[in-house]
Chain A
């Protein structure tokens, strides 16, 4: 098992660092899956995470200038690592003006992902900072726990409003309640709603648009659905706030699939990054 990668381009480095920062805000520990062409940050929806799942996918070619990996075996040419994304985020934080960042899998005292940052200096030789991030190597037999989640059989799929606006709305609602009801229909309407004994607050979003793919190859349930009828899910508001406040990828497209009373599936799409986030509905 070998892994070695290098980023030289500053824009790529900062972009990668933003993705990692986003992940660090969403998960304390996560799984980093490495394949020949892609990197994945995965949080599988165990009870431990409150049922929240995350799937983030990047094309390595868009970030790395060098990327060599050798998986556990020829037919399973992949590596699964468990790490704390906060560590990786911290290592990259002070690398914003680096000449190069190298990542390497090492095993000296314990398995580590070594991030070596080459910084410009006043002298002829550059400053080298190395961060040894402890990782756990996930054995082959557990890989099945980290399979790509299938898109749920949703009732409604809708584009999200500007995340900034949504964030400020959710932040204020957070002061009122721990839960938010997110509801949407197929006529481009979405509501965010908090209900407490004292107050009921609803924010209405209109003309958001529904992705066409949802109608074409989408699901049975959404095809013969009344376009006006709302599908709703009550979720932990902190989980939603975490995503809205922590995301740094500035997606070109953001959408939301709702399986009524079961799950909210949020998708943030950027050119070369996709982030999926699953928040279970509460009863």
Chain B
């Protein structure tokens, strides 16, 4: 993989890395024919973000032949390269990202003013594909607003606040309110913000619907969206189902998927609410195992990935076929957090299933860390 970024786009990339750094500790890089994809997931598997930069975003883009290579790097080291956004804008003229598979180095080169070149050689790990399963088409509600509106809305909440509830009431009024657990003694200040429908670009929400999600990751995306002046779309369904935030541009596609807090009453019937429409599973022999996961991670071999669609849309199917593996079923019923990771209160964790193609060119079961947490328990 080799790509060259020039001018203002370097800062865009930098801001994307800053936004991803709010999610997880590792950054997944995947060069595809459709562009370079940067992804991250948090440790409790309740937040996933992906930034896809189209080939046109780059001055030059080479995905790197048929054998596509995926890797992950430490977020800290990658963020270090793009740490200071103002100096990035002021001094850097050209940025070169080069994957040297033979040397096991990801090289990021910043060509600055006055002939200064900064070269960062980062170590990486080869990894499986990180893919969240979600489908915006299946979400009952959609809101679209200028990022600035939402950014101005969230400033009213304290920086330490964990969760916020988004509500569209019967009259179409849209409100944000900080989430207070009923059990907790209410010594906390409760802030509520009401926005008129007219301030949004599009409102197609189920009346009297609400979701509760984490503010931290959302703030990260908002700062990116605000700087890029892109409208932000919010797709959501019932409480407990993931909320999806998207930004779309000619050369950029951003998705942020966050777990939402499930309502005690609605969570019992939650798994059946999946099959709104019947999406045919990809011609993939292990898709069965993934069914009913809110987000699943797919591991596929190299040759497969090239034909995978960049926009994820898979297996939310009606759960009529009996599960092949009873363990998997258990896991889904459990609905709790992945053991060993700190769950966010009552958040339904977005489960990730990880499957490896048998006989793939890079069978690296040792790297299946993502799945290990959940599988090991049962």
The reply to whether chain A is a binding partner of chain B is: yes
Q: Are B189 and A131 in contact (CB under 8 A)?
A: yes
Q: Which residue on chain B has the smallest CB distance to residue A113?
A: B189
Can you list, as one digit per residue, whether each of B142-158 has a CB less than 8 Å from chain A (1) or not (0)?
A: 00000001000101101
Q: Which residue on chain B has the smallest CB distance to residue A126?
A: B196
The interface residues of chain A lying within 8 Å CB-to-CB of B195 are 121, 127
Q: Which of A87-95, A150-158, A209-217 contacts B (4 or more CB under 8 A)?
A: A87-95
**Is A47 engaged at the interface, CB distance under 8 Å to the other chain?**
no
**Is B186 engaged at the interface, CB distance under 8 Å to the other chain?**
yes
Q: How far is the CA of A167 from the CA of B158 in the complex (A)?
A: 28
Can you list, as one digit per residue, whether each of B176-214 has a CB less than 8 Å from chain A (1) or not (0)?
A: 000000000011111111111011000000000000000
Q: Are B193 and A87 in contact (CB under 8 A)?
A: no
Q: Are B192 and A130 in contact (CB under 8 A)?
A: yes
Q: How far is the CA of A29 from the CA of B190 in the complex (A)?
A: 17
How many residue pairs bridge A and B at CB < 8 Å? 51
Q: Are B198 and A125 in contact (CB under 8 A)?
A: yes
Q: Are B156 and A94 in contact (CB under 8 A)?
A: yes
The interface residues of chain A lying within 8 Å CB-to-CB of B156 are 94, 129, 131
Q: Scan residues 54-107 of chain A and give those whose CB is less than 8 A from a CB of chain B.
A: 84, 87, 90-91, 94
Q: How far is the CA of A8 from the CA of B218 in the complex (A)?
A: 33
- A91 in complex: contacting residue of B153, B186, B189, B198, CB < 8 Å: B189
The interface residues of chain A lying within 8 Å CB-to-CB of B149 are 122
Q: Are B189 and A90 in contact (CB under 8 A)?
A: yes
Q: A90-B158, A123-B199 are in contact. Are A128 and B193 (CB under 8 A)?
A: yes
Q: How far is the CA of A94 from the CA of B149 in the complex (A)?
A: 14
Count of interface residues, chain A, beta-carbon cutoff 8 Å: 20
**Is A189 engaged at the interface, CB distance under 8 Å to the other chain?**
no
Can you list, as one digit per residue, whether each of A109-153 has a CB less than 8 Å from chain B (1) or not (0)?
A: 110000000000111110111111110000000000000000000
Q: Are A134 and B188 in contact (CB under 8 A)?
A: yes
Q: How far is the CA of A245 from the CA of B187 in the complex (A)?
A: 28
Q: A94-B156, A129-B156 are in contact. Are A123 and B196 (CB under 8 A)?
A: yes
Q: How far is the CA of A128 from the CA of B190 in the complex (A)?
A: 14
The interface residues of chain A lying within 8 Å CB-to-CB of B188 are 134
Q: Which residue on chain A has the smallest CB distance to residue B188?
A: A134
Q: Are A121 and B199 in contact (CB under 8 A)?
A: yes
Q: Are A109 and B186 in contact (CB under 8 A)?
A: yes
A235 to chain B, nearest CB (A): 32
A42 to chain B, nearest CB (A): 20
Q: Which residue on chain B has the smallest CB distance to residue A127?
A: B195
Q: How far is the CA of A123 from the CA of B145 in the complex (A)?
A: 13
A258 to chain B, nearest CB (A): 38
Q: Are A131 and B186 in contact (CB under 8 A)?
A: no
B153 to chain A, nearest CB (A): 8
Q: Are B191 and A131 in contact (CB under 8 A)?
A: yes
B291 to chain A, nearest CB (A): 43
- A130 in complex: contacting residue of B153, B191, B196, CB < 8 Å: B191
Q: Are A132 and B190 in contact (CB under 8 A)?
A: yes
**Which of the four size classes fits the interface of chain B?**
10 to 19
Q: Which residue on chain B has the smallest CB distance to residue A116?
A: B192
The interface residues of chain B lying within 8 Å CB-to-CB of A90 are 158, 189
Q: Which residue on chain B has the smallest CB distance to residue A112?
A: B190
A89 to chain B, nearest CB (A): 11
Q: How far is the CA of A84 from the CA of B149 in the complex (A)?
A: 29
Q: A90-B158, A121-B199, A127-B195 are in contact. Are A133 and B189 (CB under 8 A)?
A: yes
B348 to chain A, nearest CB (A): 27
Q: How far is the CA of A84 from the CA of B155 in the complex (A)?
A: 20
Q: How far is the CA of A84 from the CA of B158 in the complex (A)?
A: 14
Q: Are B187 and A134 in contact (CB under 8 A)?
A: yes
Q: Are A134 and B191 in contact (CB under 8 A)?
A: no
B90 to chain A, nearest CB (A): 30
Q: How far is the CA of A28 from the CA of B158 in the complex (A)?
A: 16
The interface residues of chain A lying within 8 Å CB-to-CB of B186 are 109-110, 134
B226 to chain A, nearest CB (A): 15
Q: Which residue on chain A has the smallest CB distance to residue B146?
A: A122
The interface residues of chain B lying within 8 Å CB-to-CB of A87 are 189
Q: How far is the CA of A94 from the CA of B157 in the complex (A)?
A: 9
Q: How far is the CA of A132 from the CA of B189 in the complex (A)?
A: 5
B46 to chain A, nearest CB (A): 27
The interface residues of chain B lying within 8 Å CB-to-CB of A122 are 149, 199
B191 to chain A, nearest CB (A): 5
Can you list, as one digit per residue, whether each of B271-286 has a CB less than 8 Å from chain A (1) or not (0)?
A: 0000000000000000
Q: How far is the CA of A220 from the CA of B158 in the complex (A)?
A: 51
Q: Scan residues 122-156 of chain B and give those whose CB is less than 8 A from a CB of chain A.
A: 149, 153, 155-156
Q: Which residue on chain B has the smallest CB distance to residue A114?
A: B190
A203 to chain B, nearest CB (A): 36
Q: How far is the CA of A175 from the CA of B194 in the complex (A)?
A: 46
The interface residues of chain B lying within 8 Å CB-to-CB of A132 are 189-192
Q: How far is the CA of A121 from the CA of B191 in the complex (A)?
A: 18
Q: Are A125 and B191 in contact (CB under 8 A)?
A: no
Can you list, as one digit per residue, whether each of B201-234 has a CB less than 8 Å from chain A (1) or not (0)?
A: 0000000000000000000000000000000000
Q: Are B189 and A121 in contact (CB under 8 A)?
A: no
Q: How far is the CA of A90 from the CA of B155 in the complex (A)?
A: 10
B207 to chain A, nearest CB (A): 19
Q: How far is the CA of A60 from the CA of B192 in the complex (A)?
A: 27
Q: How far is the CA of A14 from the CA of B196 in the complex (A)?
A: 26
Q: How far is the CA of A94 from the CA of B156 in the complex (A)?
A: 6
Q: How far is the CA of A110 from the CA of B184 in the complex (A)?
A: 13
B182 to chain A, nearest CB (A): 11
Q: Which residue on chain A has the smallest CB distance to residue B197?
A: A123
Q: Are A134 and B198 in contact (CB under 8 A)?
A: no
Please name 9 pairs of A and B residues whose Cβ atoms are closer than 8 Å in the assembled complex, sorted by A: A87-B189, A91-B189, A94-B156, A122-B149, A123-B199, A125-B196, A127-B194, A127-B199, A128-B194
- Give chain B's interface residues, CB within 8 Å of chain A: 149, 153, 155-156, 158, 186-196, 198-199
Beyond A90-B158, A130-B192, 6 extra complex contacts between A and B, CB < 8 Å? A91-B189, A94-B156, A123-B198, A123-B199, A127-B195, A131-B189
Give 5 nearest A-B pairs by CB, closest first.
Answer: A123-B198, A132-B190, A87-B189, A125-B196, A129-B193
